[in-house]
Amino acid sequence: MGYATILDIAGSILIGAMLLGIILKLNNTASWSIYSNAGELNCQTNLTNMSMMLESDFRKIDYCSDNTNIQDPANAILAADTTSIKFISDLNKDGKMDTVYYYLGPATELNSTANPRDKILYRIVNNAAKLGSDAGITRFYIVYYDINGDTVHTPVASASLSLINDIELNMNIENVTIDSSRANSYWRQARLTVPNIKHR
């Protein structure tokens, strides 16, 4: 075995190591990118699902399928605050009014996730157990407007609940698995019109 052979072996090892390094680095980068992009996709999917659910519920405030059981629109919203709202609606179209309660839980409930900011948005219908999922919501707040477009200050006093005419919903969703601001989706329903409280 001459110098040439040793040089070939050493060169092969060197080139092989470089190729292996490149492959490992490529694999690592690709995995991280896909992981990150999948997180963004999850954020986006959660955002569209949550927004469709919110829109569907909020548009039905004070709706009742039984026209003999329609409630006074002035009493349709039972409580309203920045991160919570309670209202009545015949959600399942059985002619009976249901009480729907949305509220945002504290961030401490989800200490186990990598993202320290995510919270659970709860939805409670009547006296059923509270339902909520970790969709990565980091901000959820509601702004209320009266008929003139002026803000109704929160928490809305009982006497002022009947003044609410339009609702603005804001929601921010981040990736729950990483603490990164990259996977961040924001949704705002600038003026959600609630048709059943219009004819007060």
Binding site for other proteins (CB under 8 A): 19, 23, 26, 30, 33-34, 37-38, 40-41, 44-45, 48, 51-52, 56, 59-60, 63-65, 67, 70, 72-74, 93, 146-148, 162-163, 195-196, 198-200
| Minimum distance from residue 63 beta carbon to other proteins (Å) | 5
**Cβ closer to other proteins: 35 or 116?**
35
**Cβ closer to other proteins: 118 or 166?**
166
| Minimum distance from residue 2 beta carbon to other proteins (Å) | 18
Whether the CB-CB separation of 110 and 117 falls below 8 Å is answered with: no
* Sign for the pseudo-dihedral over CA of 40, 42, 46, 48: positive
Helices (H), 65-122: none
Query: What are 185's strand-pairing partners?
Result: 173
| Minimum distance from residue 50 beta carbon to other proteins (Å) | 11
| Minimum distance from residue 180 beta carbon to other proteins (Å) | 16
Query: What are 174's strand-pairing partners?
Result: 184
**Cβ closer to other proteins: 26 or 116?**
26
| Minimum distance from residue 30 beta carbon to other proteins (Å) | 5
User: What's the rounded Cα separation, in Å, for the pair 152 and 161?
Assistant: 9
Residue 115 DSSP SS3: coil
Q: Which two tokens stand for residue 51?
A: 């927004």
Whether the CB-CB separation of 185 and 170 falls below 8 Å is answered with: no
Please, which residues have CB within 8 angstroms of residue 163's CB and are 6 or more apart in sequence? 146, 147, 152, 156
**Cβ closer to other proteins: 130 or 182?**
182
**Cβ closer to other proteins: 129 or 199?**
199
